[in-house]
Structure 1
Amino acid sequence: MKLYSYPRCNTCRKAIVWLTARHLAAETLDITEQPPSIAELEQALAQLGRQRLFNTSGQSYRALGAAAVQAMDDQAALAALAADGKLIKRPFLIANDGRILTGFKEPEWLDLLG
């Protein structure tokens, strides 16, 4: 599994603790230094839709503006997400079977990872 997270994010730390407690290994990547690829983001877009991809409470999103994000087509949105990891809702988990989760909601993670 791959887990894109931000070291200063409390939600990301909770997700890492949750995975560790269940002995689930994940390659952990700093989302600000190495955001998900366009291909990974396309996969997430197909599974989750645009609304679940953007970190709407983050500074990068506020600086860009909700109206600007809504005006983007999918390719522009994916390019923006790939260019600035802080725009992406985190943590961003890619399970071994290719399914993707954003944010940390324990029931969703239990459902996906058992």
Structure 2
Amino acid sequence: MSGRQVTCYQYPTCGTCRSAVKQLKELGWEVDPVHIKETPPSVETLKEWIHQSGLEIKKWFNTSGEAYKEMQLKDKLPHMSDEEKIRLLASNGMLIKRPVVVGGKRVTVGYKPEHYQEVWGR
């Protein structure tokens, strides 16, 4: 045990999530998986993570997901306040781009191997 632990909010059948977890483990992290659909992060937690990530709220949406498309969010998001967007994300884990990896002050959304190397490889 390295004592280096991250929490990974993921969807277990998501291939991208599995690749992310595999890379995190290769980089020496112990991964605590959380099923994002069954246990979505709260509004307060999302506010903190969004701030820590430095990303715009719209980057947190899973734009290729069924829920996003069914709710026609492409057209609705531009007219919503930040608070409304965060509440929406907290209400349905499937709207959140995954995986979300949290460790200390670091937060990443989505998965790009080179970005993981940069953020989690140190």
TM-score (normalizing by structure 1): 0.91
Matched, 1:44 2:52: no
Superposed, which structure 2 residues align to 1:24-43 within 5 Å? 24-43=29-48
Superposed, which structure 2 residues align to 1:76-91 within 5 Å? 76-91=84-99
Amino acid at match of 1:12: C
**Structure 1: gaps (5+ residues):** none
Q: Distance in 2 between matches of 1:5 and 1:39?
A: 19
Superposed, which structure 2 residues align to 1:70-109 within 5 Å? 70-96=78-104, 98-109=105-116
Q: Distance in 2 between matches of 1:99 and 1:109?
A: 11
Q: Distance in 1 between matches of 2:45 and 2:107?
A: 9
**Structure 2: gaps (5+ residues):** 1-5
User: Residues 40-82 of structure 1: CA distance to partner in whole angstroms, max 9, x if unpaired?
Assistant: 2112332211122000000010011111122211111111100
Matched position secondary structure for 1:48: coil
Matched position secondary structure for 1:26: strand
Q: 1:59 maps to what in 2?
A: 66
Matched position secondary structure for 1:68: helix
Larger radius of gyration: 2
CA RMSD of aligned residues (A): 1.2
Please, which of 69, 74, 78 is the counterpart of residue 77 of structure 2?
A: 69
The number of aligned residues is 113
TM-score (normalizing by structure 2): 0.86
Matched position secondary structure for 1:94: strand
Q: 1:20 maps to what in 2?
A: 25
| 8 Å CA contact 2:12, 2:35 repeated in 1 | yes
Q: Distance in 1 between matches of 2:107 and 2:91?
A: 19
